[in-house]
A and B are shown apart, each in its own frame.
Chain A
């Protein structure tokens, strides 16, 4: 007996993009459910600290400036039609969040206050102290409770289901608590399952960020785009790689080298510590590599900001530095280094979140949508500006949800054979039945993470990348044989981690392929063997297609330019 659920729209992932998409889809009148491997408020949207950007005209700001700075930040790889929508619709979404209940910080007039963020000249970042993501996520979950949105919590999605015409018709998933598998039939599926940070070691990302949604879409036939574009955040704690928000620098903190110099003067004399993240991370790495660091770190100095400001506006990172680095930010600077933080690339979508092209210009999967970090529009191109990721989740989560709801209205449920579920169950049984080899999932993951950091870090070159790519290939071989020691059905997290690693290896493979293909330096992709940006050859996106049983296929799409021609990028 196969358990089957039916919803017009099924959203995978319950972070900001997922919840926003689900609520928007519901508003079209569609039946909607969310499926997530953790409870919604455990999602990684929590970790966004600093804020959310919007250029509000009634404060003398212009959306065009926000859009331009986003395009410049991307090193001209973003698609400008998408960026224009992001910047134009930001204001309405910030207000919608405020009306839903978000307690944004306010200024003396009782209106929403702003702070400065990197890569932008104006203060247009709205914020809730330095836990903006958490504040937004909890409010969207409140709205989900209010709407009585069905949420399948702690269900693990294993694959997309497609009908005979190749249209996405749902997903296969198992309930982690019982091990029971079920078919979720849907007329539209929205992938909003977040990023893939754990492909790298260390990373600022939570342990759940394993690229499940990206890999599932990829295997289902949707192309991945800009996968070589991996953001390194300039201020992370050494060791585990925990994030210290850009809000610190937004509020005026300095970066110092071992000699006590504000070294950003050498690299970005105008924007200093608030240059784009790729620029600051490279500067730090150069300081460290040339011997002006301290044990592989430079220093983030908040002391001059004063205790009151630190307590009120940087409370979380104050606590974090105290708990995890044993440092009082008001008394001494904290050692930090660049750390893997965000995937600019992801599942290719259009501006409505569709993972297929209505005009047929690129090959995708009808019925499949994506939003948030899992998606790639591309808004962020080669480098994302701080506080644009939260904005992307609400603007394009909403658009994808609405479009998915409207799309579903026009369709009937596809017929799916029971065999699909049987095949899914058998595949899991086979993984569980593997004989002992002495190898472990944890070891393979660790080696993958280290290889990826080594080969695809702040600075890259052909030899290093080729070596890492080869490592990933051999780790895939090892994954195919690795045994799962816990054989139980109930809450088998060993099995979950093995399946996550399977997804991560696919992600790693596409990151490597994208990076070795792009023979230039642009944004976060900086090659010491090709130092220049090459607009003549590389003002284009790299698309990667999954080929079952064969090596992945490559495809290219030109960057869409509406009004900002590429210029030399200086800060």
Chain B
């Protein structure tokens, strides 16, 4: 089928370096991946088209880029799965990182954040003579997160990173989870303590994009949620993030429906005057429109609240 590839180009050595789109038309086969197409463009049409690629089999993580608006590995994305004949495939470099040239991004910041979580095994005491003994069920599930190939797709499309560049990001947190959940690692508490800081595990906004775009099924956001739960279990000092989580669950258990003003108060603390005052304009806008939710004793439990409470009890029972 005839396909147009609209590729975002950028040449830093141009007289006035500015990114622009360039179209290439190509006849593609059913089996062609986006990488096949890009290589064919590079080999037969325009040698200067610049991208990273190596294994062609979704294992080296080189060819992360945005295809029709979402990060993906070009080698794992079939052209035919993206468009029908005659349509246009948009190819752009990954987001949330600087572009060096065409589809090549600077991943130094990505790696700096990976290093930030001290991603190496930190056992306590000397190594045993043989292997560490560990139940297969405690270890084998970790291969799921070990599938991460550090391609950067999750970081590219992370909504939280777009607005808070200090966020350590989904890839680093998935990596951190890999050690926190490893029975051989002796440093979980201090790891979780670190992740409890601003920019850590509580900065995720749960948009699910990292799960959506991950080419290896690592499920970074799920790992982040597990880290949070483990953090609370380990008694890390409360943060607005952890208080939000706890207050949320608590309110639902008591009332069956969210008490938004109470959630805000319990998350930020009534004594956090600056934060509390910042809500005033919103309150004044909501009040005359009848949009201010009832709170505290005025917020009555829903009918059948007992059933909700029983659900909570069941969830808390050890499995």
Q: How far is the CA of A111 from the CA of B130 in the complex (A)?
A: 9
Contact bitstring B110-130, A, C-beta under 8 A = 1, else 0: 010011001111010001001
Q: How far is the CA of A112 from the CA of B134 in the complex (A)?
A: 9
Stretch binding the partner chain, chosen from B53-61, B202-210, B238-246:
B53-61
Contact residues in B for A167 (Cβ distance below 8 Å): none
Contact residues in B for A42 (Cβ distance below 8 Å): 52, 54, 60-62
B147 on the A face (CB < 8 A): yes
A111-B131, A138-B146 known; A103 vs B48 contact (CB < 8 Å): no
Contact residues in A for B149 (Cβ distance below 8 Å): 41, 46, 134
Task: Kindly provide the distance from the CB of A297 to the nearest chain B CB, expressed in whole angstroms.
Answer: 15
Q: How far is the CA of A354 from the CA of B273 in the complex (A)?
A: 70
Q: How far is the CA of A95 from the CA of B107 in the complex (A)?
A: 33
Asked if residues A491 and B50 are in contact (CB atoms below 8 Å), the reply is: yes
Contact bitstring B139-150, A, C-beta under 8 A = 1, else 0: 110110011111
Residues of chain A whose beta carbon lies under 8 Å from any beta carbon of chain B? 38-39, 41-44, 46-47, 58, 95, 98-101, 103-113, 128-129, 131, 134-135, 138-139, 142-143, 145-146, 177, 206-208, 239-240, 242-243, 312, 315-316, 319-320, 323-324, 326, 440-443, 484-486, 488-491, 493-494
B residues 95-119 touching A (CB-CB < 8 Å)? 100-101, 104, 107, 111, 114-115, 118-119
* 8 tightest A-B CB contacts, nearest first: A101-B121, A442-B43, A486-B48, A485-B47, A142-B120, A106-B136, A146-B120, A206-B55
Contact residues in B for A315 (Cβ distance below 8 Å): 143
Extra contacts besides A101-B182, A107-B136 (18): CB < 8 Å: A42-B54, A43-B60, A44-B54, A46-B60, A47-B55, A98-B131, A99-B127, A103-B140, A104-B131, A105-B139, A106-B136, A106-B140, A131-B143, A142-B121, A177-B100, A206-B54, A207-B53, A488-B13
Task: Kindly provide the distance from the CB of A322 to the nearest chain B CB, expressed in whole angstroms.
Answer: 10
Q: How far is the CA of A261 from the CA of B4 in the complex (A)?
A: 45
B132 on the A face (CB < 8 A): yes
Q: How far is the CA of A542 from the CA of B42 in the complex (A)?
A: 39
B184 on the A face (CB < 8 A): yes
B298 on the A face (CB < 8 A): no
Instruction: Please name the residue on chain A nearest to B57 by beta carbon.
Output: A242
Q: How far is the CA of A493 from the CA of B52 in the complex (A)?
A: 9
Asked if residues A110 and B146 are in contact (CB atoms below 8 Å), the reply is: no
Asked if residues A440 and B31 are in contact (CB atoms below 8 Å), the reply is: no
Give the A-B contact count at a CB cut-off of 8 A.
156
Contact bitstring B244-260, A, C-beta under 8 A = 1, else 0: 00000000000000000
Instruction: Please name the residue on chain A nearest to B118 by beta carbon.
Output: A146
Q: How far is the CA of A101 from the CA of B146 in the complex (A)?
A: 11
Asked if residues A39 and B107 are in contact (CB atoms below 8 Å), the reply is: yes
Task: Kindly provide the distance from the CB of A214 to the nearest chain B CB, expressed in whole angstroms.
Answer: 18
Contact partner, B132, options A98, A146, A243, Cβ 8 Å: A98
B133 on the A face (CB < 8 A): yes
Q: How far is the CA of A457 from the CA of B93 in the complex (A)?
A: 39
Instruction: Please name the residue on chain B nearest to A484 by beta carbon.
Output: B47
Task: Kindly provide the distance from the CB of B10 to the nearest chain A CB, expressed in whole angstroms.
Answer: 10
Contact residues in B for A441 (Cβ distance below 8 Å): 47
Contact residues in A for B132 (Cβ distance below 8 Å): 98-99
Q: How far is the CA of A312 from the CA of B137 in the complex (A)?
A: 12
Contact partner, A46, options B43, B55, B123, Cβ 8 Å: B55
Contact residues in B for A320 (Cβ distance below 8 Å): 57-58
Contact residues in A for B134 (Cβ distance below 8 Å): 106, 110
Instruction: Please name the residue on chain B nearest to A126 by beta carbon.
Output: B131
B76 on the A face (CB < 8 A): yes
Contact residues in A for B57 (Cβ distance below 8 Å): 47, 242-243, 320, 324
